Amino acid sequence: MDLILPLPNQEALDSLARRQVMPTRLTTAELRALDASLRSRSFFSAQTMLEDLLDGYKDKITTIINPQQISRPDRVTAENPEGSVNVGLNDAYAREQIKDLLRESGYQPKPDERGTITDLSSDARINLVLQTNKQLAQGEGWWVQGQNAAVLDQWPAQELFRAVDHAKKRDWLDRWRQAGGQTGDPIGTGWTITPDLRMIALKNHDIWNWIGSSELFDDALDVLWPPFAFNSGMDVRDVDRSQAEAIGLMDKGDAAPEPMNIVDALKAFTEKISALAA
Amino acid sequence: MITLTINDQRLRDLGQLAVWVGRGEEVTAVGGRAVAGFLRDYLFDLDAERANRLGGPRTHFYADAARAVQNPQADGNSVVISINHLGLAQRLFGGTITAGHGISSRTGQLTSLLAVPARAEAYGKTPGEFDDLEFVPTRTGGMLVQALQVQIIRGKRKGEWRDETVGALAMYWLVPEVTQAADPTVLPSGRAMAGCAADAMEDYLDRKFKGS
């Protein structure tokens, strides 16, 4: 194992760059009524009209997901002969800088909202915006990176799993059943629940269009990748061909899912959601 | 940020075989994805096992690191993987961090002391996020304490409140430097990662040879 020059997480950075800052007075519920493709192209936070604040968030998240590496003589050790040091922001310093930005802009929360999720300067609100947007960029990056014919051939399926434990857990197994029901495919055809309750589906199957769809779930983020919903704690992991065959999602020799590009995937997603909403 | 190059004899042999049968790029992509998936699972598991040392709300440091594992890149016969996460390299390699490289949120000057959380409430937060901390000098540096509000009981200011730092709760220790021991367990061993990549590459090649 060697340390060499770092590589930027280009797909995650592209995801952030693609999203244009959109100041809005709309609430979360009102935002859901907007076209899914507009939301997927926008960087926003409910009832946030401060463009500088949204720009600030975007900058901080870019720095968090793409820390830089520098060399410093005072950090040279036997294990680190180049004295490599990572510099950038972590969530705590990003949160502090967002609070500074809000102070400078003269922002004051309404007295009865202080400290709540609607207070733009509260830890809860800032953590939610930072975490959600960071994970969305990383989730999209992982999705794009997985759209490779050989990777899809070796791991044609993926599992939705709880990556981070939360005190209040939503019933993702029920969501999985509802999302599967929307696809028109019966359980065991493209998507399944194993006897030990693992939620697995072929990659690029229609179920991934529904599990993060706000047409089905109020807290969904309208994406095909984790975190799928606000504060979900959910993620995906690859499932290889032999497992996919063992649980009946594929037969031996079946073709792997076709690779998709991000534009086609989002277009297909929007068409599905629009058709349901119409 | 950590960039790992995974490379051993079995990987090199498989890489050469893959190139020989015209599947070099595919097999390297499979090897890389195998390690990336293995690393993500390893870090998510660590997140479940290792809570904050001082208790308090979880920052999910290792889950954050897991999500930062990114696309494997082909580099000849090796697999190159990056983890774009601040802090993981420090835990992996350890070393001494000294003040004087960052900007203090209090003074706007270069830091002269580092703030180390002393209580669970301080974990995952910066001193600048508290508005009630007072500096108390000590022999080795200092501490930031949450001052107590004490009512004045005599004199002209009787009845007013003042900040009292004696007996107050220390939120951060302030020290000129911190030395952390290396913790190689924050990542799986190079051998385990190479084995995982090689298994997937071999399986892929095997299937392609058999035409399944």
Domain positions in chain A: 10-130, 150-277
Residue B58's pLDDT is what? Answer: 83
Does residue A153 sit at the B interface (CB-CB below 8 Å)? yes
Max Cα-Cα span within chain B = 94
Beta-carbon separation of B1 and A74 below 8 A: no
Residue A188's pLDDT is what? Answer: 94
d(CA B50, CA A58): 30
Residue A139 has pLDDT above 90, yes or no: yes
- Phi then psi dihedrals of residue A32, to 5 deg: -65, -25
Beta-carbon separation of B67 and A138 below 8 A: yes
In A, minimum Cα distance to B105 occurs at A96
Residue bearing tokens 């490289």:
B101
Long-range Cβ contact pairs of B180-183 (< 8 A, separation 24 or more): B180/B90, B180/B91, B180/B94, B180/B95, B180/B96, B180/B97, B181/B94, B182/A79, B182/B92, B182/B93, B182/B94, B182/B95, B183/B91, B183/B92, B183/B94
Give tens-digit pLDDT for A206-250.
999 999 998 899 899 889 999 999 999 999 999 999 999 999 999
pLDDT confidence band for A1 (50 / 70 / 90): very low
Candidates B60, B84, B121, B191: best to mutate against A (most CBs of A within 10 A) is B84
Q: What is the mean pLDDT of chain B?
A: 84
Q: Which residue has the higher pLDDT, B211 or A69?
A: A69
For residues A270 and A213, the answer to whether their CB atoms sit within 8 Å is no
> Strand A42-43 relative to strand A20-21: parallel, antiparallel, unpaired?
parallel
Q: Which residue has the higher pLDDT, B47 or B70?
A: B47
Q: Put the strands of the sheet holding A234-239 in their side by side order.
A: A191-193, A199-202, A157-162, A234-239
pLDDT confidence band for B78 (50 / 70 / 90): low
Residue A48's pLDDT is what? Answer: 79
For residues A249 and A201, the answer to whether their CB atoms sit within 8 Å is yes
Span B42-49, mean pLDDT? 94
Could you tell me if B71 and B146 lie in one domain? no
Residue A161 has pLDDT above 80, yes or no: yes
Give tens-digit pLDDT for A17-39.
888 888 888 787 777 777 777 77
Could you tell me if B42 and B54 lie in one domain? yes
Residue bearing tokens 């629009």:
A274
Could you tell me if B155 and B174 lie in one domain? yes
Residue A2's pLDDT is what? Answer: 41
Which positions in chain A touch B34 (Cβ < 8 Å)?
Answer: 154
Could you tell me if B87 and B186 lie in one domain? yes
Candidates A5, A9, A228: best to mutate against B (most CBs of B within 10 A) is A9
Beta-carbon separation of A67 and B84 below 8 A: yes
Strand ranges inside A117-244, DSSP E: 157-162, 191-193, 199-202, 234-239
Give tens-digit pLDDT for A171-215.
999 999 999 999 999 999 999 999 999 999 999 999 999 999 988
Domain count along chain B:
2
List residues bridging with B75 in a β-sheet.
B78
Helices (H), B119-189: none
For A12, residues 6+ apart whose C-beta sits below 8 A from its C-beta are: A65, A66, A137, A138, A140, A141, B70, B84
Residue A4's pLDDT is what? Answer: 39
For residues B81 and B28, the answer to whether their CB atoms sit within 8 Å is no
Could you tell me if B106 and B157 lie in one domain? yes
Could you tell me if B27 and B65 lie in one domain? yes
The pTM of the whole model exceeds 0.80:
yes
Give tens-digit pLDDT for B151-176.
888 888 888 887 777 767 889 999 98
Beta-carbon separation of A79 and B94 below 8 A: yes
Which positions in chain A touch B73 (Cβ < 8 Å)?
Answer: 7
Listed by number, the residues of chain A in 210-269 with a beta carbon closer than 8 Å to a beta carbon of chain B are 235, 237-238, 240-242, 252-253
Residue B128 has pLDDT above 90, yes or no: no
Span A255-276, mean pLDDT? 82
Chain pair A-B, CB pairs under 8 angstroms: 149
Q: From the list B1, B25, B80, which residue is nearest A86 (CB)?
A: B1
Could you tell me if B14 and B52 lie in one domain? yes
Could you tell me if B7 and B89 lie in one domain? yes
Could you tell me if B87 and B17 lie in one domain? yes
Give tens-digit pLDDT for B170-200.
899 999 888 888 898 999 998 898 899 999 9
- The angle, 0 to 180 degrees and rounded to 10, between the axes of the packed helices A123-146 and A10-18 is 120
Residue-range definition of the domain harbouring residue B125: 96-179
3-state secondary structure of A60: helix
